[in-house]
Amino acid sequence: MEDKKLRICIDLDGTICTIKQPNETYADVKVLPGAKEFIDSLKADGHTIIINTARNMQTQGHNVGKVLKNVGKITLDWLEENGIQYDEIFFGKPNADITIDDRVMKFEDWRKMDKAEVLKLGKDR
């Protein structure tokens, strides 16, 4: 039986890339160590990668149209320039202090991520 192909949603800022500092633009953020390689591995296995971001949600009053106008192009350009593979991207993740969800894995460091554990979350669903 073939392994189930999963839809894997990954946060952008603080997960795929560094958090923008006050003296930086979103073009200046860096890919976190191991992020590109881990995502490449998931894509190579045939999984769908969805990037989700709350980028600029608070500063734009939670207006997704304003967010897209303000940071949409720079975000898409940054992903392309850094070779980050994805199938879908969602701007407008709620700007929350805490997210409670039944299918979430707390991110700490890509180099410590266990791919089997990540995939198990989706397959147990």
What is the token pair recorded at 34? 């191991």
User: Rounded CA gap, 24 and 118, in Å?
Assistant: 32
pLDDT in tens, the chain (125 residues): 468 889 999 999 999 999 999 999 999 999 999 999 999 999 999 999 999 999 998 899 999 999 999 999 999 999 999 999 999 999 987 767 777 676 677 888 888 888 888 888 777 65
Domain that holds residue 82: 7-119
CATH number of the domain that residue 55 is part of: 3.40.50.1000
Beta strand pairing status for 88-91 and 7-11? unpaired
Q: The whole model's pTM is what?
A: 0.85
- For residue 108, the 8-state DSSP code is S
On whether residue 104 sits in a domain, the answer given is: yes
On whether residue 2 sits in a domain, the answer given is: no
